[in-house]
Structure 1
Amino acid sequence: MQHQTAAQTRPTPTSQYWDGFITETDAADYLCQSVRTLQKWRVTGFGPQFYKPGRSVRYRRRDLREWAEARRHANTSQYTS
């Protein structure tokens, strides 16, 4: 039976950053969009995944990055709607 030390189970500062939650305003800034655009995307289901603890809306940085990377294109001929 192997035992993990605290150092092996403790999240790294980098993972803590990417797994951290940010506000709707900070998420909009991260994606270079307006808060209103994020709100529209939530209604239509287009945008990144979000969390709703109570009445507030939060985004995880990792989800924003993955969502943006999934829409990355090298040229216009790669883009299909």
Structure 2
Amino acid sequence: MQELTNAKGSRDPSRALLNGWISRSDLAQELEVTEGTLRRWTAERWGPPCIRAGRKIYYRRSVVVEWLEDQEAADHRRARRGMRR
């Protein structure tokens, strides 16, 4: 695993610990949705799964990618069904 350093050049262990995870606010920015949308998805048991660490919510990046791929496959299946009319 790549070791991350802070501005002073010393090791930043908190960043290495969260390597592979993304915060709710960062994910919202990347998906171009609001944090409220991500909260609603969680409440509705839809969207990528998340974990809570204290007051912070994190998503495993690899699981978010899998979830997005599943959405792409579902869209493809819906489009094919619509073509059979």
- The interval holding the TM-score normalised by the smaller chain is 0.5 to 0.7
- TM-score under structure 1 normalisation? 0.65
Indicate which of 70, 77, 80 corresponds to 2:79: 77
Greater relative CO, 1 or 2 (CA 8 Å, sep 6+): 1
The aligned residue for residue 59 of structure 2 is 59
* Structure 1, gaps ≥5 residues long: 1-10
Instruction: Supply the RMSD in Å over aligned alpha carbons.
Output: 2.8
Q: How many residues align?
A: 66
- TM-score under structure 2 normalisation? 0.62
Matches for 1:12-27 after TM superposition, within 5 Å: 20-27=20-27
Q: 1:77: Cα distance to partner?
A: 2.1
- Give, in whole Å, the separation in 1 of the partners of 2:47 and 2:58: 13
1:47 aligns with 2:42: no
- Give, in whole Å, the separation in 2 of the partners of 1:55 and 1:23: 11
Distance 1:28 1:74, change over 3 A: same
Greater fraction strand: 2
Distance 1:70 1:20, change over 3 A: same
Q: 1:60: Cα distance to partner?
A: 1.1
Runs of 4+ in 1 over 4 A off after TM superposition: none
SS of 1:30's equivalent in the other structure is helix
* Structure 2, gaps ≥5 residues long: 3-15
Give me the identity figure in percent. Answer: 28
Q: 1:49: Cα distance to partner?
A: 0.6
Q: Is the 8 A contact 1:20 1:61 kept in 2?
A: yes
Matched residue type, 1:51: I
